[in-house]
Amino acid sequence: MDGTARTFLSTLDDRQRAVASFAFDDPERARWAYVPQKRIGIPLQAMDAGERAAAFELLGTGLSERGTQLARGIIQLEGTLRELEGAAGSLWGPVRDPELYYLALFAGPGGTHPWGWRFEGHHLSVNVTDLGPHGQIVAPLFMGANPARVPSGPQAGTRLLAAEEDLAFELLHMLDLRQRARATIATQSPGDILTRSVPEVRPMALAGLPAAEMGIAQQRQLRRLLELYAGRMADSSAARQLRRIDEAGFGRLHFAWAGAHRPREPHYYRIHGPTVLMEYDNTGGGANHIHTVWRDLENDFGGDLLRRHYARQPHRR
C-alpha cells in the first residue's frame, strides 16, 4: 500500500485498524452513498488530532489542493446546515454532524496492488482505486452543497460550488436559440442526479448539444467546465481523465440541460461522452441544494483497468 495509507494505519490502535480495514474484494467497496446513513470505516469523531491529520493527508493523495479544500468545505458546511435546520426546528438537525465522515481502506492480499480507499459522509464520497503501474482512478467522485448559498449567519453568502453553477450558466447563455433548444432535454429538472449512487452506471443515451456543433468559444467554455470538475482530482488522475476524453473525441461530448435557464430556480445539467459522465443538479431547498458527480464510464472502482490488471498479474485468493 502507499506510504501515506500505511502512515495513517500506523496512527491507529489495533481496534481502530480493524474498524478501518477491509479486503479489496469486499462488496462494501462499491456501496457508496451521499445521503446521511450508517457507514463502514472509522469516523472523524473517533480520531485524535494526529489521526485526523494523517487521514486528510491520505485524502490529499486522491484530490488536488482545490478538491481537498472543497472536501473540507463540505464537512464544515454540514455544521452550518445543522445550525440552520436546528434554528428552523427541523428534525434533520441532529443527524447533520461534521464528525460523521468515514475513512475505509480496502487492501489487496499482503498489502499489494490493487488497493483502495473511500472517504465519505453526507454530500461527499471520494472513491480511489490504486492499480500501481496502471495508475490511480478517482471515481465515483461526489460533492454536494446544502445550502448552495448560505442564507444567514457568519457564513452568509458563501457558495461552495459557485463555479460549477456559474460556468454552466455562462455556457448555456453563450448558445444561440437553436443550440439552446438542442441542449435543453426537459423543461423541468429531474430532482437529483439521474445515476444516484449505483455501483455501475447503466448505458444512457447521449442527449443534448454535441460539442462538435459548438463554436470555438463555446467549446473552450465547455472545456473550462470539464477541467473544473476534473481538477478536483490529483493532477495525474485529472490529466489521465482529460487525455482519455480527448482520445475518445472531445466533439463527442454532449452538454444537456433541464429545468430553468436562470439561477435560483431548479435546474440540472450533464456532460456525457464515451468515457465520462458528469452530472449536476440544483433542485431541493428552493434551488439551493447542489449535487454533483463524476463517473468514469469505463473505470469506476477500477473497472476495465482492474480487469486488465488481474488478467496480466495472477493473484492468490
Overall average pLDDT of the 160-186 stretch: 98
**pLDDT given at position 133:** 83
Model confidence band, residue 91 (pLDDT cutoffs 50, 70, 90): confident
Residues constituting the chain: 317
Model confidence band, residue 47 (pLDDT cutoffs 50, 70, 90): very high
Model confidence band, residue 178 (pLDDT cutoffs 50, 70, 90): very high
Q: Is 317's pLDDT higher than 60?
A: no
Q: What are the tens digits of pLDDT across the range 201-221?
A: 999 999 999 999 999 999 999
> For residues 309 and 131, is the Cβ–Cβ distance under 8 A?
yes
Q: Is 1's pLDDT higher than 80?
A: no
Q: Is 244's pLDDT higher than 80?
A: yes
The structural domains of the chain, with segments of one domain joined by +, span 3-130, 162-302
> For residues 268 and 282, is the Cβ–Cβ distance under 8 A?
yes
**pLDDT given at position 315:** 54
Q: Is 166's pLDDT higher than 60?
A: yes
For all residues of the chain together, what is the average pLDDT?
A: 95
Give pTM, 2 decimals: 0.96
Residue owning grid cell 473505470 = 299
Model confidence band, residue 313 (pLDDT cutoffs 50, 70, 90): low
Q: What are the tens digits of pLDDT across the range 253-289?
A: 999 999 999 999 999 999 999 999 999 999 999 999 9
